[in-house]
Chains A and B, each alone.
Chain A
Amino acid sequence: MSITVTGLCKAFDAKPVLHGFGFSLADGETVALMGPSGCGKTTFLRILMGLETPDAGTIEGLRGLRIAPVFQQDRLCPGLSALQNVLLVAAHPAQTAAQAEGLLRELGLDEDDIRRPAAVLSGGQRRRAALARAVLADGDLVLLDEAFKGLDEATAAQAIDFVRRRTQGKMVLAVTHSAAEAAALGARVVRMPARPD
């Protein structure tokens, strides 16, 4: 299982965002995708998720893969609790409830936080619920779009350690602006060029 991207192009309103981008991700590998703002990192993740169609280029190895993303925005259902949000992606919610609760606790959420609606959780708590959801989804490819942004240093370290342990053996692609974060994830760094003019 591996992904190979060749010559990927994408433009919005005739403005190119990706131009001939190439990339590969080996089985079980973690890659940190870095580059200046607006260079197309999120667009690339959206293409991998099937939310955008590339104008040109090929992606091999993606078909049939289960994708578990952490979006830049947490994208939790506001009326559901942290636990319910995590269980939403479980194949068998009833059998996975204890596991989901365990993941949230591992990320530092207490009993009350776990059962409170996502709408009233803090930004950091929502972020961690989104991380737990991506882990519980048990995807083949985990996509992290600035997943640790906004977390304080200690919580970010805890969350990075959580991701590193819980995604072992999976393909992980993490968009980040932090070299330290990439190093902590044990990721190979791929730098994206700035957006072509």
Chain B
Amino acid sequence: MREKWKTAAAVLFWLAVWQLAAMAIRQQLFLPTPASVLAALAELVPTADFWRRVGFSLARIAGGFFLAAAAAAVLAALAAALDTVEVLLRPLILVVKTTPVASFIILALVWLPSRNLSVFISFLMVLPVVYTATLAGIRHTDPQLLEMARVFRLPPARRVRAIYLPETMPYFVSACSTALGLAWKSGVAAEVIGLPDGSIGEALYQAKVFLTMPELFAWTVVIILASMLFERAVLRLLRWAAARIAGTKEAV
């Protein structure tokens, strides 16, 4: 609780800094005040268009994230089991990891309709992060437990549920926590470049074009909040799953 108050105080501090800076600059075009951003937000939130945009972007970014997390888990399991898969994936993951997101967005615009661009881009940003961490998790599985499983001839399903999953879940959850933020950042970046109709990215771009800075800031606040809430919901779900796996009655 104490920590929450400290965080709230820090947020208030930076809001005050923002307010003072805006008052010093006195140009809404460069830096709108927190109050004007709040007013823009209050205007946006009750409209149907706002919720449609949030729904549009959320569905696609979440879709990209979940697809990538699932693919990363499967690929990591395959790579841990088969050396050839790991070797084959190595350059691919390295390329995805190091290529600037803007390059992928522009390339993907050639291949895909802009409506689904953010699904693909979020997928690409999340995949290497979750894959690398999950593979590391599998490889750090306690060798003593694996020997025990081998000597007792545990069936593969029991090995996975009782040994691999509990040992790998912390790595997977931690990687997902990092990747959730990445999914939002890259997904919205893709929308700003691809400008799919009815997306948050498009609204952000329009606010910039028409120089409606309070609106631009308001949409940015929306992205931050949506990203935070989504991250919390997903992490809660994953932690619940991890706790169930760690001590589940069905583990056997």
Contact A79 B151, beta carbon cutoff 8 Å: no
Contact B144 A75, beta carbon cutoff 8 Å: yes
* Chain A interface bracket (under 10, 10 to 19, 20 to 34, 35 or more): 20 to 34
A51 — which chain B residues lie within 8 A by C-beta?
A: 147, 150-151
Residues of A within 8 A of B (CB): 49-51, 66-69, 71, 73, 75, 77-81, 84, 87-90, 93, 117, 133, 137
Contact B145 A68, beta carbon cutoff 8 Å: no
The listed residue (B147, B154, B166) touching A89 by CB distance below 8 A is: B154
**Given A51-B147, A79-B166, A88-B158, are A137 and B152 neighbors across the interface (CB < 8 Å)?**
yes
Contact B152 A89, beta carbon cutoff 8 Å: yes
Is B162 part of the contact surface with A, judged by Cβ < 8 Å?
Answer: yes
A133 — which chain B residues lie within 8 A by C-beta?
A: 152
Further pairs besides A80-B251, A84-B251: 4, Cβ < 8 Å: A49-B147, A75-B148, A79-B251, A88-B251
Residue of B nearest to A75 (CB): B148
Query: Which of B147, B154, B245 has the largest number of chain A CB atoms within 10 A?
Result: B147
Query: Which of B144, B151, B247 has the largest number of chain A CB atoms within 10 A?
Result: B151
The listed residue (B144, B166, B249, B252) touching A88 by CB distance below 8 A is: B252
Is B163 part of the contact surface with A, judged by Cβ < 8 Å?
Answer: yes
B147 — which chain A residues lie within 8 A by C-beta?
A: 49, 51, 71, 75
Contact A81 B247, beta carbon cutoff 8 Å: yes
Is B246 part of the contact surface with A, judged by Cβ < 8 Å?
Answer: yes
Interface string of B141-164 (1 = CB under 8 A from A): 000110110111110001000110
A-B pairs with beta carbons under 8 A, tally = 57
CB of B22 to closest CB in A, whole Å: 51
Residue of A nearest to B149 (CB): A88
A137 — which chain B residues lie within 8 A by C-beta?
A: 152
Contact B247 A88, beta carbon cutoff 8 Å: no
CA A79 – CA B169 in complex, angstroms? Answer: 12
CB of A59 to closest CB in B, whole Å: 15
CB of B243 to closest CB in A, whole Å: 9
CB of B48 to closest CB in A, whole Å: 47
Contact B151 A69, beta carbon cutoff 8 Å: yes
CB of B166 to closest CB in A, whole Å: 5
Contact A80 B152, beta carbon cutoff 8 Å: no
**Given A75-B144, A75-B145, A87-B252, are A80 and B247 neighbors across the interface (CB < 8 Å)?**
yes
Contact A77 B162, beta carbon cutoff 8 Å: yes
**Given A71-B148, A75-B148, are A84 and B252 neighbors across the interface (CB < 8 Å)?**
yes
CA A133 – CA B144 in complex, angstroms? Answer: 16
Contact B163 A73, beta carbon cutoff 8 Å: no
CA A90 – CA B154 in complex, angstroms? Answer: 9
CB of B172 to closest CB in A, whole Å: 15
19 contacts between A and B (CB under 8 A): A49-B147, A50-B150, A50-B151, A51-B147, A68-B152, A71-B148, A73-B144, A75-B145, A77-B145, A77-B166, A78-B166, A79-B245, A79-B251, A80-B162, A80-B252, A88-B154, A88-B162, A117-B246, A117-B247
